Amino acid sequence: MKQTRGIMRWLVVFFVVFVLFNDAGQAVTQLDDTFGENGFIVQDFGSGEDEIFAIALQADGKIIVVGEYDNGAVKNLAVARYLPTGELDKDFNNDGIFTHSIGSGGTRARSLAVQSDGKIVVAGSAVAEGNTIALIRLTPDGFPDNLFADNGQLLLPLADGEANASAVKIADDGTIFVAGTIVKDSGAETAGIVVKLTAEGQYDENFGEAGISVVPYDYDSELRAMSIQPDGKIVVVGSFASGGIAEAGILRLNQDGTVDEQFGEKGQFIVPLEGSDSIIHDVTVDPAGRLFVAGEVNNGSYRETFVAGITADGTFNADFGASAIYRSTLEAENVGQAITFDGNGNLLIVGFAATDQGKDVFLLTLAKNNEPTGGNTLSATYITADLANTHDVGNALAAMSDGSVFVAGSTGISGNTDFALLRFTGGNILNAQAGPVSGSEGVSTAGYTVVTRQVTDVTRVSAVSGGTITDFGTGLCADACTASCSEDPDPATCFDTCFPTCELPGVILRGVVFGIAEDPVFDETEEDTTEPPTDTDTDTENSIFPESETFVYETVESGQTEDGSGVGSFGSIIEQITPNTVYYVRAYAVLSDDTVIYGNNVIFKTEDACFIATAAYGSMLERHVLILREFRDRVMMANSIGKRLVGMYYGVSPGIAGFIAEYEVLRTVVRVILLPIILLAYFILKTSAVTKLCLLTAGIGLWSVKSIRTQT
């Protein structure tokens, strides 16, 4: 009997160890586990704070990162090169890492660029008789290049104040541009600065004043990033405080360092954002010279990510959504630090999002969907990575042609801040609760122009849209009659005959139609589907609508609203739709001759729904909630029974979740109750086939022992 109990105890321990500790702590789902350990690598230089700020990919697939580490006294510059598998490249500076300090003070790195010959230019700052911009160039094998400047390094001479570099770029002809910010000795003034160097590290005398161009404004400016347009003009981004408050802005310089007044408004473009203290952290340029910037703005409660599209000449890009600005809809602090394109032309933005545990790496994708009607939309998706349950931050990113993405930053996984390099696989990004971004001039037909209004106020089960209907046909016809009849021998008779033909069929009904497929159509047999049924127990189109809020059993595939008649603008409230679902919307008009005309397509996505878990853990980005959401999407929604269960959950959980959220004691109790479900979801999603086999063996063993015990 004692032997049997011992066997049972060991089997239980075996089971618990595998469930709790196999890859424990990794609450992410899209990390590429073939890279490093579980999709990421950590480099700890010691007991101090270490962080990566820039990344570049070589043609051979090797990854270069630059940042700083704390040696216990000051910050030192660090450059590391990794193999595609995540190991340090021992052919780089003998052990894969180059570290450097200029003088006895700190030396920091913020940006890097790889030349066509494989040499690596690193930009940052150094404390040497004051803080100043520092440049270092390394050979391809990771040693100082003595042919560059002064034995491989350059310090910017400053007569007044201190300076920090934030960006470095290499032009097609090999010249080097550096952007940064000067802080005057008084500490009360800051000014952006751009430096141009030859390929050998000498100042270009034809640029600015002896190779240095200072932003010529009498108010504070700060530069965070830089890019070079195809025509060779230099674009720098950051913030400008012309009104006393920092505003996200862009400045363009000519190739000689002067402000290009043909860009924006006298060389400058300020991004109009509702909120305060905005700044652009990064910029990328497409082959046509159009600019895409990412940054942050304070919305009054927390900082949030924004992305804006700007034309090559400094105006809003009309092809980038309705307002050319995307703002994150996450209900927690989130900051976009870097932006780039992937191989499919989508925009990738990386940064961090705040959670109860600290910060998580935040990766946002904005994909443009061109509509056949002439409109355009942006779909937003995101993933988060929680490596350490503390602070994980993404500062830089680089995309591979296979769709995978490298993110570089820092993690608190070892107790202090360390280098972190993550690799995400392509094609596995979770859908976000992002609101719509759309734009179109509408559709003109039958003498009317119908424009669908941008969707706003998106919730889990509702949204607000509408449209504008304009009569352009009557005016055109009248103008034609006037022109024709003015030359007629009997103009009065001509007018009497011609003008009646200009009358258009009237608009007898208007509203919006919506559906999960593109180009939803009006159903003349269907009444307004947004009116809640009087009997909440009635199953209508596989939906149940308790009280005033709607939560569905299965996806509501289509519907329409009825919002009056006549031309002009109108609003439409879309209700009784499914959480976490993409919908197409377009305005419609039914004419008196029974013709139905439509406006442009607008796309939006309802917010996600993980009610009880979100109430218990406080955030949809909390790692336990992410596991449950993934389990729902990948397992439950993969079959009809699972969909039905999810729908039932949607039907009963909102009220319960609202009650739970009000009481901390209940939140704690629910977290305990949810733990077995989370463990089961984690086991199904995260464990390997070998692990599952071992657990199956353990289960069979437990059952066998129990059977033996029963028999004896």
Using DSSP, state whether 660 is helix, strand or coil.
Answer: helix
Q: Is the per-residue pLDDT at 378 higher than 90?
A: no
Q: What pLDDT, on the 0 to 100 scale, is given for residue 573?
A: 92
190 within 8 A of 204, measured Cβ to Cβ? no
Beta bridge partners of 4: none
Task: Give the span between the Cα atoms of 575 and 585, in whole angstroms.
Answer: 13
Task: Give the span between the Cα atoms of 511 and 559, in whole angstroms.
Answer: 11
Across 207-259, the runs of DSSP E, i.e. the strands, are: 212-214, 221-228, 234-240, 247-253
* Residue range 366-372: mean pLDDT, rounded: 59
Task: Give the span between the Cα atoms of 21 and 41, in whole angstroms.
Answer: 19
pLDDT digits (tens, 9 = 90+) for 522-541: 988 765 555 433 333 323 33
Contacts of 8 (CB under 8 A, 6+ apart): 702, 705, 706
Distances 514 to 506, 557, 581 between C-alpha atoms, Å: 23, 8, 12
467 within 8 A of 415, measured Cβ to Cβ? no
Q: What pLDDT, on the 0 to 100 scale, is given for residue 436?
A: 30
Residue written as token pair 């009849």: 485
Using DSSP, state whether 101 is helix, strand or coil.
Answer: coil
Q: Is the per-residue pLDDT at 390 higher than 90?
A: no
Flag the least confident range among 259-268, 519-528, 551-560, 697-706: 551-560
Distances 93 to 49, 68, 125, 188, 231 between C-alpha atoms, Å: 22, 17, 22, 41, 37
Q: Which CATH code, of 3.30.56, 2.40.50, 2.60.40, 1.10.3470, is assigned to 440-605?
A: 2.60.40
Percent of the chain with pLDDT over 90: 44
Q: Is the per-residue pLDDT at 12 higher than 50?
A: no
Task: Give the span between the Cα atoms of 257 and 194, in whole angstroms.
Answer: 8
Q: Inter-axis angle of helices 2-21 and 689-711, to 10 degrees?
A: 160
Start-to-end CA span in the chain (Å):
9
* Residue range 99-125: mean pLDDT, rounded: 92
Please count the other Cβ atoms lying within 10 Å of the Cβ belonging to residue 494: 17
542 within 8 A of 552, measured Cβ to Cβ? yes
Q: What pLDDT, on the 0 to 100 scale, is given for residue 372?
A: 39
Average pLDDT over the chain, rounded to an integer = 82
Identify which of 572, 555, 461 has the alpha carbon closest to the alpha carbon of residue 517.
555
Q: What pLDDT, on the 0 to 100 scale, is given for residue 374?
A: 40
Instruction: Please give the model's pTM, rounded to 2 decimal places.
Output: 0.64
pLDDT digits (tens, 9 = 90+) for 310-319: 999 999 998 8
What DSSP state is assigned to residue 581?
A: -
Please count the other Cβ atoms lying within 10 Å of the Cβ belonging to residue 483: 9
Q: How confident is the model at residue 388 (pLDDT cuts 50, 70, 90)?
A: low
Residue written as token pair 């040696």: 71
Task: Give the span between the Cα atoms of 239 and 281, in whole angstroms.
Answer: 9
pLDDT digits (tens, 9 = 90+) for 140-196: 999 999 999 999 999 988 767 789 999 999 999 999 999 999 987 666 689 999 999
Percent of the chain with pLDDT over 70: 85
* Residue range 504-518: mean pLDDT, rounded: 92
C-alpha angle with apex 630: 628 to 632, nearest 5 degrees?
A: 70
Q: Is the per-residue pLDDT at 129 higher than 80?
A: no
Q: How confident is the model at residue 24 (pLDDT cuts 50, 70, 90)?
A: very low
What is the full DSSP assignment across 480-541?
A: HHHHHHTTSSSHHHHHHHHGGGGPPPPEEEEEEEEESSSS----TT---TTSPPS-TT--BT
Going by their DSSP bridges, the two strands 358-370 and 376-385 should be labelled as antiparallel
pLDDT digits (tens, 9 = 90+) for 457-478: 777 778 889 999 998 888 878 8
147 within 8 A of 174, measured Cβ to Cβ? no
Most confident of 104-108, 350-354, 401-405: 350-354
Structural domain boundaries in the chain: 58-214, 440-605, 611-686
How many Cα neighbours within 13 Å face the side chain of 641?
A: 1
Residue written as token pair 């959480």: 579
Using DSSP, state whether 285 is helix, strand or coil.
Answer: strand
What DSSP state is assigned to residue 705?
A: H
Q: Is the per-residue pLDDT at 321 higher than 50?
A: yes
C-alpha angle with apex 394: 579 to 349, nearest 5 degrees?
A: 55
pLDDT digits (tens, 9 = 90+) for 548-607: 333 334 567 889 999 999 999 999 999 888 777 788 899 999 999 999 999 988 888 777
Tokens of 458: 């998106």
Task: Give the span between the Cα atoms of 226 and 435, in whole angstroms.
Answer: 29
Identify which of 376, 364, 312 has the alpha carbon closest to the alpha carbon of residue 339.
364
What DSSP state is assigned to residue 637?
A: G
Tokens of 660: 């739970």
Q: Inter-axis angle of helices 2-21 and 664-686, to 10 degrees?
A: 90
Q: What pLDDT, on the 0 to 100 scale, is given for residue 197?
A: 97
465 within 8 A of 580, measured Cβ to Cβ? no
Q: Is the per-residue pLDDT at 329 higher than 60?
A: yes
* Residue range 483-510: mean pLDDT, rounded: 85
Task: Give the span between the Cα atoms of 375 and 52, in whole angstroms.
Answer: 40
